Amino acid sequence: MKRLRCDQTPAWAALQASFEAGGKSFDLREAFAGDAERFFRFSQEAPYVFADLSKNLLDVTSEALLLDLAVQCQLEQHRDAMFAGDRINSTEQRAVMHFLLRQPALPALEQAQSAIKNTAHELSQVHATLDAMLAYAEEVRADEAITDVVNIGIGGSDLGPQMAVLALGEFATTGKRFHFVSNVDGQELAGVLAQCQPHSTLFLVASKTFTTNETMSNAHSAKRWFEAGGGRDINRHFAALTTNVVAANAFGIRSTFGFWDWVGGRYSLWSAIGLPVAIAIGAVGFRELLAGAHAMDEHFRTAALARNLPVRLGLLDVWYRNFHGFGSRSIAPYSSALRRLPAYLQQLEMESNGKRVDTDGQPLPFATAPVLWGEPGTNGQHAYFQMLHQGTSVVPIEFVAVRKAAHGLPGHHEQLLANVLAQAQALMQGKNDEGGHRHFPGNRPSTFLLLDQLTPASLGALIALQEHRVFVSGALWGINSFDQWGVELGKVLAKDIEPRLRSGDTSGLDGSTAGLLQRLR
């Protein structure tokens, strides 16, 4: 049976009525004053993540209606279809099974009888590949002659591993440096190569398709640099992480670690694309990362909707985007180690849900993905927080904090935590100053995600939480969160323009492109 899109449900109309009747004038200060239990009512434990949702513009009635909306859109059935391996990526006729990459191996008998038997064959492939990749990671870790690991990849083949290697720096081997080259701007690769020597560098060419122009250009230049510097042993100094092993072999790489078309690029951190992370933190650490994500998968798969954190966050996203009309969400990790989290989440949210048609290709009469942006705290406080506190647009903000510091420098962590609490408090409370320059309107919403400690397991859980909340809003919006046709047109046009930059041929181009092309030559 076809699922209903959010705007086709009775709950949608009820939410609209409730928003008009009082939702839009909801006041956080009054809500706390009127309900001593609000913090407990709107906070939630999930694996490795504690979430305080109480500083959001949401009351029990609105949340109950949002939960009705989820039921009426058959969110649970859609979630179960993903976990059953159905081809929910309808425009590409693919299953969506990144969760399988973090599922523990089951003993053979149990596997045959398991409720997830649809995916048992894939699961055994996952574990065979994982074991091989982790064995390789351990070899590289033990190889003292390799001092530099250079990941060449872009989008999902860069943002996830880069974010995770930075986040887990405390757990990383000290004997190696990790570099990430994504941009086709040669300055990036040149800058990295200037720090490396061919005999002590391992290049990981990470590309799901092994056709992405930026990655191929960088990989070819790296290979030329390696050979020009006397490098001979490509097998030892290059490995490919890809679903397209044939293309990797044609490139000359024999050490390959595969994955499958049912892993979307932005969901591929858990696959062979995670190899730089595995080299950094080791096989045990990488398995902990997977286990943390799996714990969150199980929470999402089994917890009742009302106590299901990815569901509650995804519903809040719909509430803010479609009823309050908030066009963006800011993400503020109060953890320097999580400094690439906003960039990672940008791809996750906006490439998944930045869609204007539903799964039938029909234009949507409502808004979808918000703009996601942010910087680590406290840095953001000294830059754009002015706008968050006193600007004309309300931007919900998601704080991520870590209770235990990963260092022993006295005083710093208390200062950091005091700041994150103070910002959330100030945004909510505001300050009355007769409406002038020093006036803070307050009532500005925030979510507070708290990890006890930043570890491989807690990072895995945090990322899986974000993946699933994106699934929830996408499911309600009735869109396919797992394709990305919107990135194609620009790629095609760049192919046409590149030779014109050499020849100067501007025939058929619009006036602006032609004018700029002439100036650039």
**Taking the complex as a whole, how short is the minimal distance between the CB of residue 328 and ligand F6P, in angstroms?**
21
92 vs 358, beta carbon nearer ligand F6P:
92
Binding footprint of ligand F6P, residue count (CB under 6 A):
14
Q: In this structure, what token pair is assigned to residue 382?
A: 């000294």
Of 62 and 157, nearer to ligand F6P (C-beta) is 157
Residue 139 annotated among the catalytic residues of the structure: no
Q: What is the largest CA-CA distance in the chain?
A: 74
The least CB distance from residue 148 to ligand F6P, in Å, is: 22
- The verdict on 266 binding ligand F6P (CB under 6 A) reads yes
- Joined together, the tokens standing for residue 244 give 């397209």
Angle between helices 309-318 and 456-477 (to 10 degrees): 40
Listed residue (27, 8, 24, 75) closest to 306, CA to CA: 75
Q: Is 156 in the site for ligand F6P (CB under 6 A)?
A: yes
Among 44, 201, 215, 447, binds ligand F6P (CB under 6 A): 215
382 is catalytic: yes
Q: Which pair of structure tokens corresponds to residue 223?
A: 């290979």
Structural contact between residues 292 and 103, judged by C-beta atoms closer than 8 angstroms: no
Q: Does 155 interact with ligand F6P (rule: CB under 6 A)?
A: yes
Cα(378)–Cα(416) distance, integer angstroms = 7
Catalytic residue among 24, 220, 382, 412: 382
Per-residue CA distances from 508 to 416, 443, 511, 512 (Å): 56, 53, 9, 12
Residue among 19 and 482 whose Cβ is closer to ligand F6P? 482
For ligand F6P, the closer CB: 148 or 261? 261
Residue selected from 9, 212, 423, 446 as contacting ligand F6P according to rule CB under 6 A: 212
Give the shortest CB-351-to-ligand F6P separation in angstroms: 6
**What region does 430 belong to: left with phi over 0, alpha with psi -120 to 50, or beta?**
left
Contact string (CB under 6 A) for ligand F6P, positions 98-137, x = contact: ----------------------------------------
Stretch that binds ligand F6P, among 99-107, 152-160, 163-171, 502-510 (CB under 6 A): 152-160
Site membership for ligand F6P, residue 321 (CB under 6 A):
no
Residues linked to residue 398 through DSSP beta bridges, in sequence order: 331, 447
* Contact with ligand F6P (CB under 6 A) among 3, 208, 321, 468: 208
> What's the CA gap between 230 and 208, in Å, rounded?
29
Task: State the catalytic residue, choosing from 122, 214, 288, 351.
Answer: 351
Which entry of 24, 431, 439, 491 is annotated as an active-site residue?
491
- Residue (156 or 445) nearer to ligand F6P, CB: 156
The Cα-based distances of 8 to 5, 11, 137, 359, 481 in angstroms read 5, 9, 50, 14, 19
Q: Which is nearer to ligand F6P, 68 or 92 (CB)?
A: 92
- Residue 217 as a binder of ligand F6P (CB under 6 A): the answer is no
**Would you give the DSSP letter of residue 268?**
-
Identify whether 491 is a catalytic site residue.
yes
State in angstroms the smallest separation of the CB of 207 from ligand F6P: 3
Site string for ligand F6P, 470-489 (x = CB under 6 A): --------------x--x--
Backbone angles phi, psi at 176, to 5 degrees: -135, 150
Contact residue for ligand F6P among 51, 154, 196, 293 (CB under 6 A): 154
Nearer to ligand F6P, 207 or 423 (CB): 207
Residue 103 CA to residue 97 CA, distance in Å, equals: 10
Question: Which position among 23, 231, 265, 376 is part of the footprint of ligand F6P (CB under 6 A)?
Answer: 265
Between 52 and 467, name the residue whose CB sits nearer to ligand F6P.
467
Q: Does 157 bind ligand F6P (CB under 6 A)?
A: yes
Residue 137 to residue 114: CA distance in whole angstroms: 31
For ligand F6P, the closer of residues 92 and 298 by Cβ is 92
Taking CB under 6 A as the criterion, the residue among 124, 200, 209, 336 binding ligand F6P is: 209
Q: Which stretch binds ligand F6P (CB under 6 A): 4-12, 155-163, 194-202, 315-323?
A: 155-163
Q: Using CB atoms within 10 Å of the CB of residue 101, give its burial: 0 to 12 exposed, 13 to 18 middle, 19+ buried.
A: buried
**Binder among 44, 72, 103, 207 for ligand F6P (CB under 6 A):** 207
271 vs 368 by CB, closer to ligand F6P = 271
Distances (CA, A) of 58 to 313, 369, 373, 450: 12, 20, 22, 20
Is there binding between residue 355 and ligand F6P (CB under 6 A)?
A: no
In the chain, % helix, strand, coil (3-state, to 5) comes to: 55, 10, 35
The span of 81-89, 132-140, 150-158, 228-236 binding ligand F6P (CB under 6 A) equals 150-158
Q: How far, in Å, CA of 516 to CA of 355, rounded? A: 30
Q: Least Å distance between CB 212 and ligand F6P?
A: 3
Strand partners, 333: 400
Confirm if 103 and 122 have CB atoms less than 8 A apart: no
Contacts of 291 (CB under 8 A, 6+ apart): 102, 104, 457, 460
- 3 state DSSP class of 521: coil
Active site residues: 351, 382, 491
**Which residues make up the interface to ligand F6P (CB under 6 A)?**
154-157, 207-209, 212, 215, 265-266, 351, 484, 487
